[in-house]
Chain A
Amino acid sequence: MNRNAIVIIVVMAAVALMLFAGVRMARPRAGVVKLSPVGKNGSVAPDFELQSLDGKPMRLSDFRGKAVLLNFWATWCAPCKIEMPWFVDLQKQYASQGLQVIGVAMDDSGEEAIAKFAKQMAVNYPVLIGKEAVGDAYGGVEFLPTTFIIDRQGKVVDRVFGLVSRSEFEDGIKKALGGATPAAQASAKEPAR
């Protein structure tokens, strides 16, 4: 085998190694979740239709003109349980200014268990039965809680991954409400319940 052949083998081996390493390094590491740009700040929140706990279909677009706090949660999620009373309070506090909190339950424990949990938590906002496709539309809700704060025009102003403080949610809500225009407020319609 002449020198050229050896050089070619070495180069090809190096390329192969780089290819192997590149593909492996592109994979998410354990515990690190890659986030998709879908649902990023400034983008329009994907519309969806999900069933509420009372069996009625509900769409995100039903709330256009309102600021929406869209919270993905599950009954088995301890941090979700911590923030839910905050959302109950925030819904009370900002409802008159046009806030609507929406909970999307992403677990398979059944509607009855979800309803029982929501009742225990004295939830005063609609709880919808989540579907993976909706989570995917929001970039893949790979951990909970995940919350999107959406302004009156339907644009995502804040994405909150995991548990943060109540005041951080409140700041996002104010931002979403602040984007209000008189026209938008006037066109705010009541959701079909």
Chain B
Amino acid sequence: MRSARLGFAAGFVLALVAAGAAMDDTASPQTPSWVTPLPVAKISVKSGKPAKLELRFKVADGYHINSNQPGSELLIPTKLQLNPPTDIGVGSITYPKGHDLTLAIAPDQPLNVYSGGFTITAKVSAMRTASPGKYKVHGQLKYQACNDRSCFPPKLAPVDFEVQVLKRTSASGTAHNPAQSPHAHN
């Protein structure tokens, strides 16, 4: 009898955990996403030596988003905004060229869009003051998605990645001391 009660209690707890997990997933307002950021490969930088960052995104099948240069001031361009920590710099953000898309219902009004997958590149650098270690960079991709008949309000897709700042080394391969020669690599 005691075992049955134990079994019931264990099952009840299991049910509560499952329900909680499912509910937690729906607690925040769920709006569909049309762009998914793909995992970012680990990026390592040394002070004074910027590294290339590649951010890859997937657009849901059957949808497209405006490119960064959609060709009309009224259309909302795809734009990446990154907020790196103080010791990390992100610059030279380069967007791919979009492709022209003509809707069957309006063949004379082509749109410049991204669909399928696309990659945005940037250069990541570490300040001289940066201590070796891992730094998290957060940001967001603003986009506006449509399919061939409808458009959806602009959305923000979160973008997060980690930068590993490596120890600076001098020409002889020993650790560099910035306090002694702060302008050595200018």
Contacts and interface: CB of A to CB of B under 8 A. Distances in A.
Question: Do the two chains bind?
Answer: yes
B62 interface: yes
Given A16-B19, A80-B151, A29 B4 contact: no
Contacts, number: 133
Contact of B150 (A19, A75, A79, A106): A79
Interface in B20-78: 21-23, 25-26, 30, 32-34, 60, 62-63, 74-76
Interface in A148-187: 161-165
Interface in A122-165: 142-145, 161-165
Contact of A30 (B60, B144, B146, B153): B60
A17 B10 CA distance: 14
Interface residues of A, number: 47
Contact of B3 (A4, A30, A76): A4
A79 B25 contact: no
A110 interface: no
A1 interface: yes
In the complex, the 5 A-B pairs of residues with the closest C-beta atoms, listed nearest first: A12-B11, A5-B7, A162-B149, A23-B22, A16-B18
Interface of A: 1-2, 4-9, 11-13, 15-17, 19-20, 22-24, 27-33, 74-82, 106, 113, 117, 142-145, 161-165
